[in-house]
Structure 1
Amino acid sequence: MRKIIPMLTIICLLMAAPLFAANLTLPPELGATARILKTERDGLWEKSLIVQLPERRHLLSTSDGIINGLGAINHSAHPLLWKKLAVELATKLQCGGKTYEQQRKGMIANKLGLQPADLTLVGTAADMDNLAVVTKQFPPFTVTALVTAGAKSNALRAGVDEGTNIEPSDPPAGTINIIVLTNARLTDGALARAVVTITEAKTTALEDLKVTSSYTKGVQATGTGTDSVIVVSGTTGPKVTYSGGHSRIGDLIAKAVHQAVLEALEKQNGFKLKKKP
């Protein structure tokens, strides 16, 4: 009996064959590979950073929580494509951004010979060509941050700017996505604490660049309304139960993220540190 595929799924999956896959070099201590998969949909670019793991590891993702996964994805698509998906969702013509992301994750999982549940994915409209990759080491620890960042149209100050949606309905016009890899064997608590450290480092980068809120004039931004984080535990390094700023691993995470956010925002938006007189 032939399997009937819903028309909605067919529409969502319409895309060209991969155009190019670029490999990135990661420290061998991390035991992970990374590459960027480039495709097109409706004539608009799509670029996915794929971090693949040789064995299952604990990952904490702001999209999927803690999973025992085999990879992490930061997917970027042309801003016009996100806007088109938002219109399609509003008019109930096609799949919308969330379904599109799930279909993208399914396509990549199939390409890797995995199940979608093995992966976690975050989305952005920042161009993956502006990815910043920063590694910090202090034996026996290695930390690498992979960051895409846009903050010109969606920057906000937490606790000041108002949130009005139950679920996000707008395309990710400005987003800071951060993937952190380490060789350290992070407990679930350390994974969660790492998100705090990462957020603090991101905010200090925004402060250093003097990025202001897109919603409240003249107010310092602390992030954007759609930021995401993925933290990937290692397998060969020391066991870590605390990843705050007083720990060596927390210090490395903060420094790697801070530098990567600075670099990514300069590449994407042209934000630069002001030279001291």
Structure 2
Amino acid sequence: MKIHMLPTGDEVHRYQKSIVIPFKNSRKVLSTSPLNGGYRENLLSAFNHDSNPGAGISCSLRTDSYLNDLKLLATEIGLDPATATGISTAASMDNVAIKAVSYENLTVTAIVTGGVEVNGGRVGDPASYHEARGKTVMTKEGTINIILDIDADLLPGTLARALVTCTEAKTAALQELMAGSSYSRGLATGSGTDGTIIIANSQSDLKLTYAGKHSKLGELIGLAVKPAVKEALFLQTGLSPKSQHSMLRRLKRFGITEDGIWNKHGVLGEKTLAKPVFIQQLESVDREEELVALTSLYVHLLDQMDWELITPGRAAQEGRYLVERIKQKYQLDVEYTFSWQSAEETITGMLANFTDVIARISAGGPDV
């Protein structure tokens, strides 16, 4: 079915678990795909495909390589693999987000699917493979795929700059959602399997030479991509400002979980509650506005210590002030120690202190 009409006259179709854009005229395309990737002027179509075989079943190659899988997919959806470029994901095409923004005769359209709950990562996180070993990495649940259509004629270098701006916009969306990495305690900057296809209209009379943030084109890329990424993440996994308004969500990337807080409750010698009751009381305070705000400030101290913007001693001292506010709110008598030396020791100690406090809050419930 046709789900969108681009200003170029190209139609966006959804069928056979794919988003497909057949080109009516010649286009300039820059793609991260192994199928006709890089810069091309001879392509006739672009697609994004949902390779998820079903709930609880992991994605796997159907051929001997990801490239050949994409060729097979192109053929199955009626495209010529020699003149198509495509990307795949485990996200549903039913959860696609489309955002178009315009200025005078320039329109930029972002067509996005994605999720970061499983595969979100921060650039520089530990790698999972080295290509020289011949290992193939399959698409995981979490890929953010972007097709960006620009109704203007761009130079090849301008297309490359548009890719940079598009990536910045994606990362900005994740930062604004405080989405955590699944592989470190950092904030996610994308997923490990993201794909992008940028399409420019080589038939347009509008010739643009720059796509950075100072240009109107760069501005429109940001205004289209950021909300489209956020909407796609919400449609796929429910990730949103509302879902992130949670103490537990803010702590997740630091390895603090409901089970970990329950175990701390036992270590404190206070395991007098049944676990379901304890978890219920933990969840009852999880979204309290003041506690979420103080938790967010606390973990940002850890971030800034990681980034060497503040010293471990200062982070521990300021963390103590935040914990004092929590103790006062819940009338807790908990000792907070902060005599650590290295940044790593300080982070470990601060997280242990915070887990201790949350365990004691949960043991008494929201009215402690």
Q: Does 1:132 pair with 2:97?
A: yes
Q: Indicate the residue corresponding to 1:72 in structure 2.
A: 46
Give 1:67 deviation, angstroms. Answer: 1.4
Gaps of 5+ in 2: 246-288, 294-368
The equivalent residue for 1:141 is 106
Partner of 2:341: none
Q: Which amino acid aligns with 2:52?
A: H
Which residue is equivalent to 1:164? 129
1:193 match: secondary structure = helix
Amino acid at match of 2:109: T
* Preserved contact between residue 155 and residue 209 of structure 2 (Cα < 8 Å): yes
| 2:223 corresponds to which of 255, 259, 266 | 255
User: Which residue number in structure 2 is paired with residue 230 of structure 1?
Assistant: 197
- Paired with 1:241 and 1:174, the residues of 2 have a C-alpha distance of 33
**Corresponding residue for 2:276?**
none
Q: CA deviation at 1:78?
A: 1.9
Greater fraction helix = 2
Q: How many residues align?
A: 236
Q: Distance in 2 between matches of 1:269 and 1:60?
A: 28
Q: For each residue in 1:34-59, what CA deviation from the matched residue of structure 2 results, as whole angstroms up to 9, or x when unmatched?
A: 10112xxxxxxxx1100111122110
Deviations 1:189-233 (A, max 9, x none): 11100110000000010011111000113x100000000110000
Radius of gyration: which is bigger?
2
Deviation at 1:161, TM superposition (A): 3.5
Higher RCO structure (Cα 8 Å, ≥6 apart): 1
2:187 aligned to which of 196, 216, 220: 220
Corresponding residue for residue 26 of structure 1: 5
- The farther-off stretch of 67-76 and 99-108 is 99-108
The alpha-carbon deviation at position 172 of structure 1 amounts to 2.6
Match of 1:106 among 68, 72, 75: 75
* Counterpart code for 1:228: G
Distance 1:229 1:84 in 2: 20
Cα distance in structure 2, aligned partners of 1:182 and 1:237: 13
| Local SS of the residue matching 2:145 | strand
The 5-angstrom pairing of residues 14-53 of structure 1 reads: 22-27=1-6, 29-38=7-16, 47-53=17-23
| Residue identity matched to 1:53 | F
Q: Which runs of 4+ in 1 moved over 6 A?
A: none
On the 8 A contact 2:88/2:139 being kept in 1, the answer is no
Say whether the 8 Å CA contact 1:85–1:95 is kept in structure 2: no
| 8 Å Cα contact 2:99/2:228 also seen in 1 | yes
- CA contact 2:52–2:59 (8 Å) conserved in 1: no
The one-letter code of the counterpart of 2:118 is S
Report which of the two has the higher share of strand. 1
Q: Does 1:85 align with 2:60?
A: yes
| Alpha-carbon contact 1:140-1:237 (below 8 Å) kept | no
**1:237-248 correspondence to structure 2 within 5 Å:** 237-248=205-216
Equivalent-residue separation in structure 2 for 1:208 and 1:99 (angstroms): 37
Report the secondary structure of 1:233's partner residue. strand
Partner of 2:319: none
Shift of 1:99: 2.4
Deviation at 1:253, TM superposition (A): 0.8
Partner of 2:277: none
Q: 1:195 to 1:246 in 2, by over 3 A?
A: same
In structure 2, what is the equivalent of residue 272 of structure 1?
Answer: 240
TM-superposed deviation, 1:24: 1.3
1:23 alignment partner AA: K
Q: Distance in 1 between matches of 2:175 and 2:44?
A: 34
Percent of aligned pairs sharing the same letter: 37
**Counterpart Cα distance in 1 of 2:123 and 2:95:** 26
**Displacement, 1:269?**
1.0
Structure 1: stretches of 5+ with no match in the other structure:
1-21, 39-46, 89-93
1-structure distance, mates of 2:59, 2:158? 39
CA distance 1:250–1:84, change in 2 (3 Å): closer
Aligned pair in 2 of structure 1 residues 156, 135: CA closer, same or farther (>3 Å)? Answer: same
CA–CA separation in structure 2 for the residues paired with 1:65 and 1:35: 23
In structure 2, do the counterparts of structure 1 residues 70 and 170 end up closer, same or farther at CA, with 3 Å as the change threshold? closer
SS at match of 1:25: strand
Whole-angstrom CA distance in 2 between matches of 1:270 and 1:117: 37
Structure 2 distance, partners of 1:168, 1:200, is: 27
